C-alpha cells in the first residue's frame, strides 16, 4: 500500500475494514506536515509519521513497511499519540530520528497523551508487557524483525485477548525458553529469529565445552548434556516452527549456527550410537532447511546433499552398533529418502531411485516389527509415493516408467485402506489419502483417461480443502490446495473447458503467491508461482488471449530464473525454464510476434537432452524450435 494511516482506513457501520488510495504514488515535500502526504508524479508514497525507516531512506518498500505503518496506527489507537513527537522537522530530520532513536514504549507514552482521547479501560498498566511488545515488534527498525505478515500481527493480538502467550517479547532468553515449554501452539518463526540465533550461539559454545569434556572422560553425564542441548535447541525449537509460514529463513539460521558444532561433534561421537543418532537427526533437519525439492527450504540442494551424506554415515554406524533399534533405522531411512530426492532433482535420477528403494526397505522392516503402528505404516506409504514419483510421474524427475509408478501408487492406496491405516482418521493419514489420489489422477491424465483423472483430482481437492481448513497455519496443507486446484484447472483446460478451468487456475496462483509472500526465503515458492503462471498461460492460449498467454509465460520465466539463481543444478527448474521459453517462442512466432527466448530455449533443451533429463516431447519441441520458427 505504501501509505497506510488512519485517514486511509475506513471502517463501515458493519465493521468491515477498507483501505483507500491503494497504490497511489505520493511523496512528501521536505517541509510538509508529517501527518500529510503530498502527491507528485513519479515520486514515492509516504506519510512521515507512519513511514518505516527504510521507506524514509528511499529504499524498496515491501509488505514489512506496511506492517510498520500498521504498528504506528495501533500505537496511536492504544496510546493516544505516535511513537515519536514530530513538530515541523524536515524529511531528513524525520528519517534520522526514526532510524536512530528508539520509540517510547506505548505504556510510557500514555501519560503524556491526551487522556480524554483514550477509552477508560486503556491504562498504562494494561499496555505494559505484552501489548508494549506487540506494538514495538511491529515497528522495529529492522524489517526482518517485524511481524512477517499482517495476519501474524493479528494473531498475536488474538493471543493477547485470549490470555495466551504472545510471540512478541523482549529479547531475553529466559522468556523465550519459558514460552517454548509452556505454549501449546508453535510460534511464528521470524518474530524470534534474533533470540534463536542467540540461543544457538550459546549452544555452540556449550557443545564445544561438552566435546572437550567428552574427550577427557567420555562420561555418560556429558553425553546426556549434549543430548539435552541438541534436543532443546535443534529438535524442539526447529520442529515447533518447521510447518509454519515464514519459517524457512529462521530454520536455516537456527541450524546453520549449529552446523559447525555438529560437524565437529560428528567426529567425537564414534562408538556411541545414541550420540551418533542425535547428530544424524540434527543433520537431517539442517538438510531439510537447506534444500528439499518437495518442501519449504532455501533451495540449496548441494548443501543439503552434503548434510544428508554426513548424517547417513552416522546413522549407518548407529544401526550397525544397534541393529535392534528401530529408531536408528528410521532416521537412516529418512536420510536416504531425502538424499535420493536431492540427487534426482540435481539430475541423478538413477541414484535417487536406488536410495528411495533403500529407504523403502528400511521402512518395511520397521513396519513389520510394529504391525499395529499407524506411524510406521504411514511411513511405508510415504516412501512408496516418493518411489513412484521418481519412477514415472511426469511432474518429477523420473525414469519414464509410468506403468511401474502406477503399480507403486496402487500399493500405497491399498495400504491406506488396510489395517492399521484403514480405520485411522489422523490428519497425516488423510493428507496422504488425498495425495495418493492426486498421483493416481496424474498418471490417468498422462495415459488419456480423462474420466479417471477427473474422479481422482476432484476427490483430492475435496479432501485437501478440508485438511487446510483444519490446519490454517500449515504450509503443506495450504500448498496442497493450490496443487489440487492446478490439477483440476489443467484437466479442464485440456478438455477445452476454459470457463471451468479458469477459477481453478486463478485459485492455484493465489495460493502460491500468498505462500511466497509469507516466506520469501522458500525456494519452492518460486517454482510454484512459476507453475501457476504457466498454467494460466496455457489456459489463455487455449482461450485465444495471446497477449495474456505471452505475459504469463514471461512471468513464469522470471520466477524460474530467480529459482535457478539460488541453485543452478535444479534439473526440474532448468527443464521447466527451457519449456516455458520454447512455448513462449512457439506462440509468439505463430502470431507474428518477436521470439526473444528462442535461442536460449534451444540451447537449454539441447543440454538437457544430452544429459538424459528431457522427455520425447521435449525433443519434439526442440525440433520445432529449429525448423519452424524464424526470428
Confidence (pLDDT) at 123: 59
Tell me the range of 19-23, 181-185, 405-409, 606-610 where mean pLDDT is highest: 405-409
pLDDT in tens, 51-72: 999 888 877 788 888 999 999 9
Whether pLDDT at 189 is above 60: no
Cell numbers at 27, concatenated: 511523496
pLDDT at 254: 61
User: Which three cell numbers, joined as nine digits, stand for 193?
Assistant: 529469529
pLDDT tier, 166 (very low <50, low <70, confident <90, very high otherwise)? confident
User: Half-sphere exposure of 469 toward its Cβ, with a 13 Å CA cutoff?
Assistant: 6
Phi then psi dihedrals of residue 300, to 5 deg = -95, 85
Domain ranges of the chain: 6-168, 170-348
User: What kind of fold does domain 6-168 have according to CATH?
Assistant: Transferase(Phosphotransferase); domain 1 (1.10.510)
Mean pLDDT, residues 231-238:
50
Cα 88 to Cα 34: distance, rounded to the nearest angstrom: 7
Rounded to whole angstroms, the maximal C-alpha distance in the chain is 79
First and final C-alpha spacing in the chain: 41
Average pLDDT, the chain: 81
Query: Has residue 216 got a pLDDT over 80?
Result: no
Q: How confident is the model at residue 193 (pLDDT cuts 50, 70, 90)?
A: very low
Selection from 5-19, 156-170, 235-249 with the highest mean pLDDT: 5-19
Half-sphere exposure of 575 (CA within 13 A, CB side): 23
Confidence of residue 447 (pLDDT cuts 50, 70, 90): very high
Q: Provide the 10 A C-beta neighbour count for residue 493.
A: 23
Cβ-based neighbour number of residue 221 at 10 Å: 8
Kindly report the CATH class assigned to 170-348: mainly alpha
pLDDT-derived band at 177 (thresholds 50, 70, 90) equals very low
Which has the higher per-residue pLDDT, 17 or 400? Answer: 400
Hey, what's the cell of 260?
559447525
Residue 43's pLDDT band, with cuts at 50, 70 and 90, is very low
Angstrom distance (rounded) from CA 154 to CA 586: 47
Question: For residue 594, how many other CB atoms are within 10 A of its CB?
Answer: 11
Q: What share of the chain is helix, strand, coil (3-state, %, to 5)?
A: 70, 0, 30
Work out the average pLDDT over 492-514: 95
Q: What is the mean pLDDT of residues 24-48?
A: 47
422 phi and psi angles, rounded to 5 deg: -55, -40
Instruction: Specify whether the CB–CB gap between 616 and 592 falls below 8 A.
Output: no
- Residue 89: the pLDDT is 74
DSSP string, 30-74: TTS-TT--B--TTPPP--GGG--HHHHTTPPP-HHHHHHHHHHHH
Please, are residues 52 and 60 in contact by the beta-carbon 8 Å criterion?
no
The residue with greater pLDDT, 439 or 35, is 439
Q: Measuring CA to CA, how many Å separate 130 from each of 101, 165, 336, 534? A: 22, 8, 44, 45
CA Rg value for the chain: 27
User: Which pLDDT band, with edges at 50, 70 and 90, does 248 fall under?
Assistant: low
pLDDT tens digits for 250-304?
666 665 555 555 555 556 667 789 888 888 988 888 888 788 887 777 778 898 9
Vertex 593 angle, CA 587 and 595, to 5°: 70
| Mean pLDDT calculated for residue range 540-544 | 94
Q: Which of 490, 566, 443, 287 is nearest to 574 (CA)?
A: 566
Q: What pLDDT is attached to residue 28? A: 36
Higher pLDDT among residues 101 and 581, named by residue: 581
Identify whether the C-beta of residue 405 lies closer than 8 Å to the C-beta of residue 398: yes
Percent of the chain with pLDDT over 70: 76
**Does position 488 have pLDDT exceeding 80, yes or no?**
yes
What pLDDT does residue 119 have?
46
Helices (DSSP H) in 123-172: which residue ranges? 124-127, 130-138, 150-161
- Stretch 18-42: mean pLDDT, rounded? 46
pLDDT of residue 465: 97
458 pLDDT higher than 70: yes
pTM above 0.75, yes or no: no
What confidence tier does 161 reach under pLDDT thresholds 50, 70, 90? Answer: confident
Q: Which of 332-341, 420-429, 484-493 has the lowest mean pLDDT?
A: 420-429
Q: What are phi and psi of 282, to 5 degrees?
A: -65, -40
Task: Look up residue 117 and give its DSSP letter.
Answer: G
Please tell me the distance from the alpha carbon of residue 352 to that of residue 484, in angstroms, as a whole number.
Answer: 26
Residues in a beta bridge with 38: 27
Confidence of residue 99 (pLDDT cuts 50, 70, 90): confident
Average pLDDT (496-515) is: 96
Q: Can you give the pLDDT at residue 211? A: 53
Q: Which residues contact 407 (CB under 8 A, 6 or more apart)?
A: none
* pLDDT tens profile 116-137: 444 444 456 677 778 888 999 9
373-419: pLDDT as tens digits: 999 999 999 999 999 999 999 999 999 999 999 999 999 999 999 99
- Please determine, for residue 493, whether its predicted confidence score (pLDDT) is greater than 90: yes
Tell me, what's the pLDDT at 196? 42
Cell of 563: 529459482
Amino acid at each position: 500500500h505504501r501509505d497506510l494511516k488512519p485517514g486511509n482506513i475506513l471502517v463501515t457501520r458493519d465493521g468491515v475494514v477498507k483501505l483507500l488510495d491503494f497504490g497511489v504514488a505520493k511523496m512528501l515535500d521536505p517541509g510538509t506536515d508529517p501527518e500529510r502526504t503530498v502527491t507528485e508524479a513519479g515520486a514515492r508514497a509516504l506519510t512521515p509519521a507512519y513511514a518505516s525507516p527504510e521507506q524514509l531512506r528511499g529504499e524498496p518498500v515491501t509488505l514489512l513497511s506496511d506492517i510498520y505503518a500498521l504498528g504506528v496506527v495501533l500505537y496511536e489507537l492504544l496510546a493516544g499519540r505516535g511513537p515519536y513527537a514530530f513538530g515541523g522537522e524536515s524529511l531528513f530530520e524525520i528519517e534520522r530520528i526514526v532510524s536512530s532513536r528508539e520509540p517510547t514504549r506505548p505504556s510510557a507514552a500514555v501519560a503524556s497523551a491526551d487522556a480524554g482521547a483514550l477509552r477508560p479501560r486503556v491504562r498504562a498498566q494494561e499496555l505494559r508487557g505484552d501489548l508494549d511488545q506487540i506494538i514495538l515488534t511491529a515497528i522495529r527498525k529492522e524489517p526482518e524483525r517485524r511481524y512477517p505478515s499482517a495476519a501474524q500481527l493479528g494473531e498475536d493480538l488474538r493471543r493477547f485477548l485470549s490470555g495466551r502467550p504472545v510471540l512478541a517479547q523482549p529479547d531475553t532468553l529466559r522468556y523465550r525458553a519459558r514460552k517454548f515449554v509452556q505454549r501449546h501452539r508453535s510460534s511464528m518463526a521470524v518474530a524470534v529469529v534474533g533470540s534463536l540465533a542467540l540461543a544457538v550461539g550459546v549452544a555452540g559454545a556449550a557443545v564445544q565445552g561438552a566435546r572437550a569434556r567428552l574427550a577427557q572422560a567420555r562420561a555418560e553425564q556429558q553425553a546426556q548434556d549434549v543430548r539435552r542441548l541438541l534436543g532443546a535447541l535443534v529438535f524442539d525449537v526447529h520442529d515447533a516452527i518447521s510447518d509454519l509460514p515464514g519459517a524457512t529463513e529462521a530454520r536455516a539460521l537456527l541450524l546453520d549456527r549449529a552446523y559447525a558444532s555438529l560437524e565437529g561433534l560428528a567426529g567425537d561421537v564414534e562408538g556411541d550410537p545414541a550420540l551418533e543418532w542425535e547428530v544424524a537427526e540434527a543433520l537431517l533437519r539442517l538438510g531439510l532447511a537447506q534444500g528439499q525439492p518437495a518442501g519449504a527450504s532455501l533451495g540449496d540442494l548441494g548443501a543439503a546433499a552434503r548434510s544428508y551424506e554426513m548424517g547417513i554415515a552416522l546413522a549407518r554406524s548407529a544401526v550397525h552398533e544397534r541393529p535392534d533399534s528401530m529408531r536408528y533405522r528410521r532416521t537412516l531411512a529418512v536420510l536416504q529418502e531425502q538424499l535420493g530426492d536431492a540427487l534426482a532433482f540435481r539430475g541423478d535420477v538413477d541414484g535417487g531411485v536406488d536410495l528411495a528403494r533403500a529407504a523403502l526397505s528400511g521402512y518395511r522392516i520397521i513396519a513389520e516389527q510394529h504391525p499395529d503402528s499407524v506411524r510406521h505404516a504411514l511411513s511405508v506409504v510415504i516412501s512408496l509415493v516418493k518411489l513412484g514419483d521418481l519412477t514415472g510421474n511426469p511432474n518429477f524427475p523420473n525414469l519414464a516408467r509410468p506403468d511401474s509408478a502406477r503399480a507403486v501408487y496402487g500399493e500405497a492406496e491399498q495400504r491406506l485402506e488396510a489395517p492399521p491405516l484403514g480405520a485411522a482418521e489422523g490428519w497425516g493419514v488423510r493428507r496422504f489419502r488425498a495425495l495418493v489420489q492426486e498421483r493416481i489422477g496424474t498418471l490417468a491424465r498422462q495415459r488419456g483417461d480423462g474420466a479417471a483423472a477427473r474422479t481422482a483430482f476432484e476427490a483430492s481437492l475435496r479432501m485437501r480443502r478440508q485438511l487446510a481448513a483444519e490446519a490454517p497455519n500449515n504450509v503443506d496443507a495450504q500448498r496442497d490446495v493450490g496443487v489440487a486446484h492446478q490439477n483440476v484447472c489443467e484437466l479442464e483446460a485440456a478438455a477445452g473447458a476454459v470457463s471451468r478451468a479458469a477459477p481453478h487456475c486463478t485459485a492455484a496462483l493465489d495460493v502460491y503467491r500468498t505462500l511466497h509472500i509469507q516466506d520469501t526465503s522458500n525456494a519452492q515458492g518460486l517454482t510454484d508461482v512459476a507453475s501457476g503462471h504457466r498454467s494460466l498461460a496455457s489456459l489463455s492460449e487455449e482461450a485465444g488471449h495471446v497477449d495474456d498467454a505471452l505475459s504469463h509465460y514471461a512471468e513464469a520465466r522470471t520466477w524460474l530464473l530467480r529459482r535457478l539463481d539460488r541453485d543452478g543444478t535444479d534439473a526440474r527448474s532448468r527443464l521447466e525454464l527451457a519449456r516455458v521459453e520454447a512455448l513462449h517462442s512457439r506462440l509468439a512466432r505463430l502470431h507474428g510476434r518477436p521470439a526473444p527466448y528462442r535461442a536460449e530455449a534451444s540451447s537449454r533443451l539441447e543440454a538437457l537432452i544430452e544429459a538424459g533429463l528431457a522427455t520425447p516431447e521435449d525433443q519434439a519441441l526442440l525440433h520445432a524450435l529449429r525448423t519452424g520458427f524464424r526470428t
